[in-house]
Amino acid sequence: MATPVPPPPPASAGGRDSSSKYFDTKRGEVTDLKALLRNQAVERDPRRKREVIKKVIAYMTLGIDVSSLFGEVVMASATTDLVLKKMCYLFLSTYAASNEELATLCINTMTRDCQDSDPLVRGLALRSLSSLGLVTVTEYLLPVLLKGLRDPAAYVRRNSVLAVLKLHNLDKAIVTENGLDDIVTKMLQDPDPQVSASSLMVVAEINIEQGGIQLDRALVIHLLNRIRDYNEWGQSFILHLLAKYRPESEEETFQIMNVLDSCLRVASSAVVLATTKIFLFYADSLRHIKDQIYMRLKQPTLTLMANPSPELRYSVLKHVEIMVTRCPGVFDSEFKLFYIHYNEPSPLKFTKLRILPELANETNIHELVHELTEYVQDVDPEISKRAIIAFGRIAVNIPAGADGIINQLLEFISNIDLDTVRTEAVNVIKDLLRKYPDRSADVLPALPRCLRVIENPTGKAAVIFLLGEFGADMRQTPYLLEGLIASYDDEVSVQVKAALLTAVCKVFFRRPPEVHAMLKRLLTTMLNDTSDTNLHDRALLYYRLLRHDVQEARRCITCAKSPVVEFAEERLSGLKQQLFEEFNTLSILYDKPAEQFVDEKHLETTSIPQLSFAAAAAANAAAAQAAQQNHAQSYDDTAQAYHGNDDDLLGVGGHASPSRQPWSLQANVTLDQETFQTKWEAADTAATLDLPLSSCPPADQVESLAAENRIYCMASGDLGHALKFFFFGRDSNDVLHLAEVQLEKASCQLTATVKSEDPTDAQTFADSFMASLGALL
Amino acid sequence: MFSVSQFYILSPRGDTIISRNFRSDVDKGTAEVFFHSVKFWKGDGGNEAPPCFNIDGVNYIFIKQSGLYFVCTTKYNVSPNFALELLARLAKLFKDYCGVLSEEAIRKNFVLIYELLDEVLDYGYPMVSSTEQLKVHVHNEPVMVDMIKQANSFKMPTMNQKTTPSSSVYKPVTLAAKSGQQRNEIFVDILERLTMLFNGNGYTLSSHIDGSIVMKSYLSGNPPLRLALNEDLVVGKGSEAANYGGSVVLDDCNFHECVRLDDFESMRLLNFVPPDGEFVLMNYRITSDFVAPFRIYPHVEENSSTQIEIVVKIRADLPQNNFGVNVQATMPVPTRSNGVSSRLDSGAAAAGQTAEYRAKDHKVVWTIKKFQGGAEHTLRAKVDLKEPMSPAIRREIGPISLSFEIPMFNASQLQVKYLRIVEQHRTYNPHRWVRYVSQSASYVSRFSTN
C-alpha cells in the first residue's frame, strides 16, 4: 500500500530562500571584508590589516564559509608582519584543500619564506606549506624540505621532520624515492631532543603497517641515556616504544629499570604510566621479584590518583584496576584510598566499586564490608546496586567471609525497602549459593518474603530459581509455587515464567505426589500460551521429555551444576591478558581490546613476538629481531619462554613435537575434586620428578609459584614430616595433567608424579612445574 | 601513535569557541556529536560521561575546566593520560597567556589561542608546551579581560578573593615580561586537599591529605631557585625514620620535571629553574593521622512520630588566629518531608551564618562565612514529615558534607623553610608570596545508625 510520495512542499523552497537570504547577509559581510582587504588604506596600515584578517579567522571559527577570500589572503600573506603572516597561513592551510587551484598562488610566497634569514619564518613556512595537504604542492615542497632537514636551526629541522610525515601521507612513493625516510631515521640521533623525538614519532607512523618502529639495543641505550632531556611528550612516546623492547638478559632488564626509576617520580601521569607499563611487562618475566616490582609501582600510581583533575584520576584508577587483578594483595593495605567521595563523578565511583572488593583480605574484610554497607544505602540506586555486586565478589574471593556476607545480604532484603536492592541482593545470593551450597539452609526461610516483596523480574526469577534448586525439601515450596502458577496469567515476564517451569519440574522430581497436579496445570497453561515462541517451545520440550522418560528428564533438567569458583567476567582471561598488553591505552578505559574500536589503518600491533615454551631456546635470539612481524598472542607465553630458557641449564627444553601447536598451559582452569580423583585413578604415571630444593618453602608459596605458571592446586596438606600437594593444569591441546607432589621437610627433597590424559606432553608439564619452582631451586 | 586529529573548545552551551583540525582524518561535525553525547550520556548505568569515549571509531577525550570543554579527537588508540595531560597543559597555557581561563578570555584572544595551538601541536603531535619555550614563537598580544567582572560572573574554582594577595596572579605572562615596570615576583602556594570520613560518633574512618606546592613565577631572567622543606621530612610511610614522632611523613611525592633532586635525600632541598607561568612544583600524599580542622557531631532527635530534629554541631579545632572561610555544610533531609525550619546560634546571623532549606534537592545548606579557630556552632533543623518515621526515612538523613577553605593553615605541617635565588645579587630582590591553604576535598560525616 504505497502512498504516493507528495511533491516537495513549497515550504522547502521557501526554506531555501530564507536560508540563502541569511547566507546573503553573511556573504554581504564577507564581501565587505573582501573590499576592505583590497582597500589601499588598509593595505598601508598593518594594524587595520590585522584587524580585518582577524575578523576573517573569527568567521572561519564560526563555521562561515570565507573561502572566497582565498586570493586576498594569499596577497596579504606576503608581509613582514609575523602576526599577520601566521593568521594568513592558518587560513590558507584550512581552505587549501577546497581551493586547490587558487592554492598554488600561495606556494610562491611560502617557498620564498622557506629561504628567509629568520629561522622562525623558515620553520613557519615549511610547516604551513606541508600542511596545505595538496598533491600539487609536493614538487615544490621537496627541494625546500630536503634543505630544511639540514637546517642549522632545530625549529626548522623539527618542522621539516613532521613535513616528511605529511608528505608521506599524501604520496608514499615520493618519500621513499627521495630517501626522506632514511634521512629521518638518521635524525633519531639528532643532538636536539625535540628533533630526535619528532623523528621517532614520524618513523613510527610511517612504519605503522609494518608494526611500528624497530628498536635495537643500540637505539634503546641511546634513548635511555638521555631520557631526561626529552620533554614529557617525548618521554611518554619513547617509553611507549620501549615497552616493546625485550631486554636480552636479566641484567639488562635491571639496568633499564634502574634508569627508568627516576621517571616514576615525575608529576606527569603520562610518563609515570608509560614507565609503569614497562615495569609491569618486566615483572612478568622476573617472577621471583614480581611482588617487589608491583610494590615499587604502588606509591607513584597512588600519588597520581591524588591529582585534582577528576578526568586524570579516572584514567589512573582504571589502570590501577588492571594492576590490582594482576597482582592481588599489593594494594590491599591502601583500601581506604579507594573509598567513594560524595562529590566525584559517577564513572569514578563505579570504578572504585569494582576495585574495592579486589582489595579485601581476611584482615580488612570487616571494615570494607562496613563501608560497602553504607554505599548500599546511597541515594543513587546505581551505587547501591554496584555495592551489592561488590559484596558478591568479596564472598567469592574470601570463603571465610562468605557467611557474614550472605547474612548481610539477607538483612538488606528484609530491612531495605527498595526493589533494586532486594533484586540485586537475591541475585548475588543465587550466585553465591552455587559456590557455597551448604549455606542454602539460611537463605531458604527468607524466600517466601522475597517472593512477596520483589517485583523486578530478574529478582523474581532468581527467587524462583533458588526455590527450585535448593528449596525442594522445604515444606512451603509447593504452596509458593502453586500461588505463582495460579497468577501465571498476570505475569508478563518471560524470564519469570521460564524460571517457574524449571523450578516446578525440579521440585516435581523430588516430591512427585504433591507437585504432579500443579506441574500438569502449568504445562497446560504454558502450551496454550503463545505469547512467546521460545517459552512455548521450552514448555513443549519439557512436556515431551517428561512423557518420553521421567528419569531421563530428571537427568536433563536437574543436571549437576559445576560450582562457581569465579564470576564469568573473570573467566575471560584471554581478554584480560590482551587488555594487560594494551596497558596505557584507551583499551583500558573501554575494557575492550583495540581491534574492537580502532580501524585497521590506525591499529598499532602490540608487537610482542609469539613464542612458545618449547621453542624458547631457538627463538630467544630471534626474539630480539623479530620484534614486530609476528602477531602478539600472549606475553605470558613470552615470559615463560624466557623463563624456560634461563632454566635450560638444568636441562629443560623442547620436548614438544614440532608438528603440534606451541605448548602452553591455559589460564584459570577449574576442576572439581571428584573428576581429579577419577582421572587420577584411571591414568598411569607418565612422568616423575625428583628435585632437591634449597630450602623448604611454606605450602602457600609453592602453590602461588605454581599458580603463576598456570598450574593450580587441588588440595594440599601437612603430613607432619612432609607437605603434600595435588596439582592440575590444562594445556593448549586441551589435555589435562595431574600431579601428586610430596616435599620432605627434613631433606627439602621434592618428588612429583605426573599423570596425563595424553602422556605425550606429560614431561613438558613436569618441566613446566619444575620451572615454576625456579626461585626455590 | 600519540597523535590527535582535532582540538576544540566548547562553551558550556556547546558553542564552538575554538576549533582546529590537524589531520583531517576525522569528519567535521564531531563537535556536535561530542556535545550531544556528553549532554545526554547514557551508558553503563551512569548519566555522566567518562572523560574518554568512542563513537563510530572516533575517540573523544575531554576535560572540563572553568565550565569549558577542552576536547580532542583521534582515531588512534592513544594513551589516555597522554591526551588528558595534553588537554590540561593546553588549558594551563591558555591561562598563562590570557591571564585567566574563561569563555570571554578565550573568545577575545582566539587568534592568540590558534597561534599557541599551532606551535604546540604539529600534525597532532605535541612538540613543546612549556610557557617560556613558546614565548619566542608567540607574537600576538593578549587582550585583557576585566578581572573584577570576571570574579563576579565566574566562580574561580581554586581560590577565593580574600586569600588572593594581589590581582597580579591574573597577569598574562607575556604582558608581564613586556611591560617596563614589572615587579619581580614569585607566588608559592602550599595547597592541601583534605579527605575525611567520620562515623556518627565522631570517629575517623579514613583520612588523607593530597597536597601540592604550586608556583607562579614572574621572575625576569628565570634564575635558578632553591626551596627548602622541613629538614625532618620523611618520605615513605613504612620506612624506619617514619617511626620517630614529630616529623612530617609523606607516603609519596612527585616533582615537576624541572626539579633536580640531588640535595633532596640529604637536605630536603629542591633545586630548579622555574619555568614561566603556573606550575606544580611537587605533589605529595599523606595518609598518617593528622588533626582534623573541623569536627562534626550530628544526631537526630525524634520529637514526635512525624517530627524530627537534626542537630549538627561543628567545632573548629584550629589555632585561635586561624579561621575557615566559606564553610558550607550540606545535609540531605528526607524526601518525604513537608518543610524544614532551621535554627542557628543566637547572634549567628550577625556572624554571617545562614541556613537554607532547598526543597528541590531536599537539602539543608548551612553557610558560615568565617569560622574562627576554637569556635563551635550548632544548627538545629526541625523536619516535619509527611508520614511517620520509618527506617526508610531514617536512611535518607545525611551524610553531612562540609566544604571550606582555611587560609594560612596546612594540616600536614609541611613547610617551606625558605625560597632563595641561588646566586643572589643585591639589586635583585624579588617579592616572594608564600601562602598556605587547606581545602576540603571530600569532608564527610555520617550519622550514627541507631
- ipTM of the complex as predicted: 0.91
Q: Residue A583: is its pLDDT beyond 70?
A: yes
CB contact under 8 A, A268 and B85: yes
Cβ density class A739-769: b for 16+ within 10 Å, e for less? bbbebbeeeeebebbbbbbebbbbbbbbbbb
Higher per-residue confidence, A20 vs A747: A747
**SS3 for B256?**
coil
Cα A467 to Cα A246, A499, A504, A505, A633, distances in angstroms = 56, 10, 9, 11, 44
Q: Residue B202: is its pLDDT beyond 60?
A: yes
**Residue B149 placed within a domain:** no
- Claim to verify: residue B20 and residue B61 sit in the same structural domain: yes
Instruction: Tell me the per-residue pLDDT of A680-736, one tens digit each, with 9 for 90 and over.
Output: 888 888 888 887 777 777 777 888 888 877 888 888 877 777 888 888 888 877 888
DSSP A210: G
Residue A359 one-letter amino acid: L
The count of domains in chain B is 3
- Cell numbers placing B259: 626539579
Phi first, then psi: give them for residue A419, nearest 5 degrees. -60, -35
Q: What is the pLDDT of residue A154?
A: 93
CB contact under 8 A, A590 and B86: no
At residue A349's C-alpha, the angle toward residues B237 and B15, to 5°, is 120
Lowest mean pLDDT among A400-409, A729-738, B107-116, B172-181: B172-181
Average pLDDT value for residue range A246-250: 87
Higher per-residue confidence, A681 vs A230: A230
- Claim to verify: residue B415 and residue B402 sit in the same structural domain: no
CB contact under 8 A, B205 and A268: no
Q: Residue A235: is its pLDDT beyond 90?
A: yes
Q: What is the pLDDT of residue B162?
A: 37
Cα A555 to Cα A435, A514, A737, distances in angstroms = 21, 20, 29
Structural domain boundaries, residue B393: 294-407
Instruction: Tell me the per-residue pLDDT of A182-210, one tens digit each, with 9 for 90 and over.
Output: 999 999 889 999 999 999 999 989 888 77
Instruction: Tell me the per-residue pLDDT of B40-87, one tens digit each, with 9 for 90 and over.
Output: 998 776 789 999 999 999 999 999 999 999 999 999 999 999 999 999
Three-state secondary structure string covering A452-481: HHCCCHHHHHHHHHHHHHHCCCCCCHHHHH
End-to-end CA distance of chain A: 83
CB contact under 8 A, A133 and B24: yes
**Residue B300 placed within a domain:** yes
CB contact under 8 A, A417 and B283: no
Considering only alpha carbons, which residue of chain A is nearest residue B9?
A61
Q: What is the pLDDT of residue B75?
A: 93
**Residue B173 placed within a domain:** no
Residue A449 one-letter amino acid: R
**Residue B414 placed within a domain:** yes
- Claim to verify: residue B281 and residue B418 sit in the same structural domain: yes
Q: For residue A163, name the pLDDT band (cuts at 50, 70, 90).
A: very high
Q: What is the pLDDT of residue B124?
A: 94
- CATH number, domain A673-776, options 3.40.630.30, 3.10.105.10, 3.30.310.10, 3.40.50.2000: 3.30.310.10
- Claim to verify: residue B254 and residue B396 sit in the same structural domain: no
CA of B267 vs chain A CAs: smallest distance (Å): 18
Note whether B298 and B201 are within 8 A (CB): no
Q: Residue A643: is its pLDDT beyond 60?
A: no
Q: Residue A272: is its pLDDT beyond 70?
A: yes
Whole-angstrom Cα distance, residue B101 to residue B97?
9
User: Which chain B residues are closer than 8 Å to A388 by Cβ?
Assistant: none
A90 touches chain B (CB under 8 A): yes
Can you name the residues that pair with A450 across neighbouring β-strands?
none
**SS3 for A253?**
helix
Lowest mean pLDDT among A155-164, A211-220, B399-408: A211-220
Q: What is the pLDDT of residue A613?
A: 29
Q: What is the pLDDT of residue A626?
A: 38
DSSP H/E element including A534 = helix A533-548
Q: What is the pLDDT of residue B311?
A: 93
Query: Where along chain A do its domains lie?
Result: 27-243, 673-776
- Claim to verify: residue B254 and residue B399 sit in the same structural domain: no
Considering only alpha carbons, which residue of chain A is nearest residue B208?
A337
Q: For residue A638, name the pLDDT band (cuts at 50, 70, 90).
A: very low
CB contact under 8 A, B45 and A194: no
Whole-angstrom Cα distance, residue A244 to residue A219?
13
DSSP A341: P
Q: Residue A615: is its pLDDT beyond 90?
A: no
Q: What is the pLDDT of residue A59?
A: 87
- Claim to verify: residue B183 and residue B226 sit in the same structural domain: yes
CB proximity list for B49: less than 8 A, separation 6 or greater:
A347, B37, B38, B41, B43
Q: What is the pLDDT of residue B165?
A: 38
Q: Residue A468: is its pLDDT beyond 70?
A: yes
- Claim to verify: residue B221 and residue B310 sit in the same structural domain: no
CA of B79 vs chain A CAs: smallest distance (Å): 4
Whole-angstrom Cα distance, residue B145 to residue B154?
12
Q: What is the pLDDT of residue B167?
A: 44
Cα B122 to Cα A98, A143, A563, distances in angstroms = 21, 21, 57
Q: For residue A611, name the pLDDT band (cuts at 50, 70, 90).
A: very low
Q: What is the pLDDT of residue B128?
A: 87
Lowest mean pLDDT among A225-234, A296-305, A756-765, B166-175: B166-175
Whole-angstrom Cα distance, residue A90 to residue A73?
10
Whole-angstrom Cα distance, residue A82 to residue B137?
10
Q: What is the pLDDT of residue B184?
A: 79
Q: What is the pLDDT of residue A644?
A: 34
Q: For residue B246, name the pLDDT band (cuts at 50, 70, 90).
A: low
Q: What is the pLDDT of residue B323?
A: 94
CB contact under 8 A, B2 and A240: yes
Q: Residue A641: is its pLDDT beyond 60?
A: no
- Claim to verify: residue B318 and residue B432 sit in the same structural domain: no
Q: Residue A503: is its pLDDT beyond 70?
A: yes
Q: Was domain A27-243 assigned CATH 3.40.50.300?
A: no
Q: What is the pLDDT of residue A665?
A: 80
Residue A687 one-letter amino acid: A
Q: Which of B25, B42, B69, B82 to mutate to test the interface with A (most CBs of A within 10 A)?
A: B82
**Residue B361 placed within a domain:** yes
CB contact under 8 A, B77 and A598: yes
Closest in A58, A162, A240 to B122, CB measured = A162
CA of B146 vs chain A CAs: smallest distance (Å): 21
Q: For residue A97, name the pLDDT band (cuts at 50, 70, 90).
A: confident
Q: Residue A620: is its pLDDT beyond 50?
A: no
Whole-angstrom Cα distance, residue B412 to residue B414?
5
Closest in B76, B110, B257 to A58, CB measured = B110
- Claim to verify: residue B422 and residue B387 sit in the same structural domain: no
Q: What is the pLDDT of residue A776?
A: 72
**Of all residues in chain A, what percent carry a pLDDT higher than 90?**
36
**Residue B125 placed within a domain:** yes
**Residue B161 placed within a domain:** no
Instruction: Tell me the per-residue pLDDT of A98-120, one tens digit each, with 9 for 90 and over.
Output: 888 888 888 888 999 999 999 99
Q: For residue A566, name the pLDDT band (cuts at 50, 70, 90).
A: low
Q: Which of A9-18, A624-633, B111-120 has the highest mean pLDDT?
A: B111-120
Can you name the residues that pair with A685 across neighbouring β-strands?
A755
Q: What is the pLDDT of residue A5?
A: 42
- Claim to verify: residue B218 and residue B232 sit in the same structural domain: yes
- Cell numbers placing B86: 595534553
User: Which chain A residues are closer than 8 Å to B212 by Cβ?
Assistant: 308
Q: What is the pLDDT of residue A162?
A: 95
User: Which chain B residues are closer than 8 Å to A201 by Cβ?
Assistant: 1-3, 125
Lowest mean pLDDT among A237-241, B72-76, B107-111, B131-135: B131-135
Q: Residue A654: is its pLDDT beyond 70?
A: no
Closest CA to B68 of B32, B19, B17, B31: B17
Q: Residue A139: is its pLDDT beyond 60?
A: yes
Cα A616 to Cα A287, A393, A640, A648, B178, distances in angstroms = 17, 38, 8, 9, 65
CB contact under 8 A, B81 and A316: yes
Closest CA to B409 of B288, B323, B327: B323
User: Which chain A residues are closer than 8 Å to B256 by Cβ?
Assistant: 266-267
Instruction: Tell me the per-residue pLDDT of A36-74, one tens digit each, with 9 for 90 and over.
Output: 888 877 777 888 888 889 889 888 887 788 888 888 888
Q: For residue A6, name the pLDDT band (cuts at 50, 70, 90).
A: very low
- Claim to verify: residue B266 and residue B286 sit in the same structural domain: yes
Cα A192 to Cα A198, A479, A730, distances in angstroms = 10, 83, 53
**Residue B335 placed within a domain:** yes
Average pLDDT value for residue range B306-321: 93
Average pLDDT value for residue range B300-326: 92
Instruction: Tell me the per-residue pLDDT of B360-390, one tens digit each, with 9 for 90 and over.
Output: 989 999 999 999 999 999 999 999 999 898 8
- Claim to verify: residue B254 and residue B395 sit in the same structural domain: no
Q: What is the pLDDT of residue A458?
A: 92
Whole-angstrom Cα distance, residue A730 to residue B323?
66
In chain B, the largest separation of any two C-alpha atoms, in whole Å, equals 76
pLDDT, averaged across chain B: 86
Average pLDDT value for residue range B219-227: 85
DSSP A757: S
Considering only alpha carbons, which residue of chain B is nearest residue A342?
B442
Size of interface A-B (CB pairs under 8 A): 245
Cα B151 to Cα B37, B157, B436, distances in angstroms = 31, 11, 21
Which CATH number covers residue B196? 2.60.40.1170
CB contact under 8 A, B50 and A347: yes
